[in-house]
Structure 1
Amino acid sequence: MPNAFEFCLPTTAKAVPDGADWLHEIKYDGYRLRVERNGKSVRLLTRNGHNWTDRYPWIVQAALKNREQHFVIDGEAVVLGVDGVSDFNALHSRKHDEEVQLYAFDILMLGGEDLRPLPLWMRKTNLARLLRGRPEGMFVAPFELGEIGPDLFRAACRMGLEGIVSKRHDRRYIAGRTQEWIKVKNRTHPAMSRVEESFR
């Protein structure tokens, strides 16, 4: 298994792109996480390189139950409320670690093959195939294509969600900050106040 995986990081923007080359995902409020399975071993790694394998057992169990022995998934660790919306306070409290699931939105490696050079839409197809049947503990991020982006963002704001992430569906997975992933946040969401606090 390649060991040089790095996260692709979205660039913050004020407007959602509306071109045909983009796809759009709801931004869940959680912790970015990479799930690496190598045979009977699973590691959960954060953006800062912390190993959280022991923190989220449900995600580990879901990874081990998969028939595929070798894969690397990019996603977000989340706690879902009864309304299906991610609850960051519950996640942050550490009182619900047993309930934390993976909101999976990309796959970097499958069966020993590095998928990062493939366009996003092909990686999405591989991810959906790997996680078909929605195994408990992991679920595939739904997405919408094309010009619907701005409408989807307005709907997300009305629902009190954190925002959306828009991605070029024809591009490879790029390590580090990129303009090919665009993050637009709901200015009224509690996550915005957390960001502002961190700069004080």
Structure 2
Amino acid sequence: MRKPVRLSFIRPMEPELVEQPPKGDDWSHEVKFDGYRSQLVKDDEGIRIFTKAGIDWTAKYKPLAEEAASLKAGSFIIEGEMIVLNEKGLSNFDALRSAITRRPQDLYLVAFDLLHLNGHDLRDLPLQDRREVLQALIPAGGHIQFSEALPGAGDAVYHLACETNLEGIVSKRLDSVYRSGATMSWRKIKCYVEAEMDIIGVQREAGKPAMVLMADQGRYMGGAFVTFKADKRQALWDRVQGKAGAPPPKGLAKQKAEWLKPGLVGRVKFLKGEETLRHASLKDFREK
């Protein structure tokens, strides 16, 4: 009598954030999709889809769970990124949460690794071999898609990704085995852009990083961390003091912030391809 297959969530392997892609032919490079890291599990209990933290979100991803049941394997653990696409065909993080609750049929799971298949633990196999088996498992044309490696050297792939408004790339050693936790065998390189925006408020709370709140042509964009050294930071706070006392902008009264009168502009570095500021930091400031 066959022993029932029971598979458990595996803590993810985490790429380290670096400034530049690695060099050499020992690496593959994939698009860094802007979504929720997810783990797709099939065993004798059926299909389950877990978040990065191991929370069961199968009910939220019902259309994808139904599609996963048709993959031609008795059991598996597939890793991927849950995304929704915008009108340009790019992953859109801002629209993801509403898509999960209102239109889950529009979600895609971009699969990039295979940890378990038909009773076999594949984590000790090289990445290249795991992905080859994964690609053969996933049929074309569905909402579960294979994350293709991008051809070319890391620098060229990264440049192309940033030029086309992608979030960045993930570079992985072709011979890397799968181990939970942070690793330099996988590296993520994000695309950033810099722009000038109005500083409309500041948030300074004890024990938390200081942040400026930004607007672009009257539209609230979010916050950027202040990482200046002491002298430049003090110069910013002196400017802020001279402009403090403005009423909260419309729709932002619930924000715990010190609101500023117009006239202070900041140059902010933030993740490219986003509708609001993400992973943003203030690089400089000036008076209008």
TM-score, with structure 1 as normaliser: 0.90
Does residue 183 of structure 2 align to residue 172 of structure 1?
no
Q: 1:105: how far off? A: 0.3
Residues 102-154 of structure 1: CA deviation (Å, up to 9, x unaligned): 000000000110000000000011101111x3251200001036x61111111
The residue identity in structure 2 corresponding to 1:71 is F
Check conservation: 1:40, 1:69, Cα contact below 8 A: no
Unpaired runs of 5+ residues, structure 2, are: 1-5, 194-271, 282-288
Equivalent residue for 1:123?
A: 130
Q: Say which one has the larger Rg.
A: 2
Residues 147-172 of structure 1: CA deviation (Å, up to 9, x unaligned): 61111111111110000000001110
Check conservation: 2:7, 2:42, Cα contact below 8 A: no
Output the CA distance in 2 between the equivalents of 1:159 and 1:100: 22
Equivalent residue for 1:139?
A: 145
Please tell me the root mean square deviation across aligned C-alpha atoms, in Å. 1.9
Does residue 99 of structure 2 align to residue 99 of structure 1?
no
Distance 1:82 1:192, change over 3 A: closer
Equivalent residue for 1:32?
A: 37
Q: Which has the higher contact order (CA 8 A, sep 6+)?
A: 1
Check conservation: 1:9, 1:177, Cα contact below 8 A: yes
Q: Which of 3, 11, 23 pairs up with 1:18?
A: 23
Output the CA distance in 2 between the equivalents of 1:4 and 1:136: 24
Check conservation: 2:94, 2:275, Cα contact below 8 A: no
Structure 1 runs of 4+ off > 4 angstroms? none
The residue identity in structure 1 corresponding to 2:107 is V
Distance 1:27 1:191, change over 3 A: farther
Output the CA distance in 2 between the equivalents of 1:4 and 1:159: 34
Check conservation: 2:82, 2:110, Cα contact below 8 A: yes
SS, match of residue 51 in structure 1: coil
The residue identity in structure 1 corresponding to 2:191 is N
Out of 18-27 and 49-58, give the one that drifted further.
49-58
Of Structure 1 and Structure 2, the greater helix share is in 1
The residue identity in structure 1 corresponding to 2:150 is E
Unpaired runs of 5+ residues, structure 1, are: none
Distance 1:191 1:107, change over 3 A: farther
Q: 1:4: how far off? A: 5.8
Does residue 159 of structure 2 align to residue 154 of structure 1?
yes
